[in-house]
Amino acid sequence: MNIHILTVLPELLESPLNHSIMKRAQEKGLLQVEIFNLRKWAVNEYGQIDDYQYGGGAGMIMMCEPLSKAINELNNQHQYEEIIYTTPDGDLFDQKEANTLSLKKNLLIICGHYKGIDQRIRDHYITKEISIGNYVLSGGELAAAIITDAIGRLIPGVLNNETSALFDSFQDDLLAPPVYTRPADFNGWQVPEILLCGNQNKIDEWRHEQSVNRTQLKRPELLKEN
């Protein structure tokens, strides 16, 4: 799978996507993340990619021309299935969306910056607008990293134990159950007896119950969505 990211701050994306699972996914050839600097398509030799907004107001707007040139050039080479724009007014990102996007082969993510991108680019090129939460970040780069991580780990073969993503929180609209490791007794705090009983069916049943209880308690709206 190819995830291409267009940004004015490539440095912000390098570290989060080059460690741990994302690094392994790329080393295994299952995921190719490429980061493109929008300034390559700047309108002048000073690297200009933004300008003042019509109608007045503080903050710069990312211009049509560099974005349009970059998207056309990259899309001609890769035929993206989705051209995603990260923005606080996009659709809220969730596990369902991560699952859907993990089935694609070629994605382009455009990171918003300053006061965002010219509306005409949104109208004519963007196929999906994603927010990672109801708060405003300084730019879309961290959102793009989060989206890439959530998608990348779902690609078959990326996780060591392929089934493990199936048991993640949210995968079936349930939070994950509590987990424990050795020792069975720490400071007199015991691991639940059932996890030591060796009966996998009973353990699975208990974990499911715990998931439902935890979801009811912490995120009841997830149960109501079913």
User: Given the rule CB under 6 A, which residues bind ligand ADE?
Assistant: 86-88, 112, 131-133, 135-137, 140, 143
Query: Which residue's structure tokens are 């009966």?
Result: 199
Residue with smaller CB distance to ligand ADE, 141 or 215: 141
Give the nearest distance from C-beta 81 to ligand ADE in angstroms.
Answer: 20
Give the helix/strand (H/E) hosting 150: helix 141-152
Residue with smaller CB distance to ligand ADE, 6 or 158: 6
Residue with smaller CB distance to ligand ADE, 140 or 177: 140
Cβ-closest position to ligand ADE: 143
55 phi-psi bin (left φ>0, alpha ψ -120 to 50, beta other): left
What distances in angstroms separate CA 219 from CA 120, 194, 204, 223, one per listed residue? 38, 25, 21, 8
Give the nearest distance from C-beta 88 to ligand ADE in angstroms.
Answer: 4
Residue with smaller CB distance to ligand ADE, 46 or 135: 135
Write the CB contacts of 127 (distance below 8 Å, at least 6 apart in sequence).
82, 83, 84
Give the helix/strand (H/E) hosting 7: strand 2-7
Give the nearest distance from C-beta 144 to ligand ADE in angstroms.
Answer: 8
Give the nearest distance from C-beta 87 to ligand ADE in angstroms.
Answer: 5
Distance CA 114, CA 57 (A): 12
Give the nearest distance from C-beta 213 to ligand ADE in angstroms.
Answer: 30
Residue with smaller CB distance to ligand ADE, 54 or 135: 135
Burial 105-117 (b: 16+ CB within 10 A, else e): ebbbbbbbbbebb
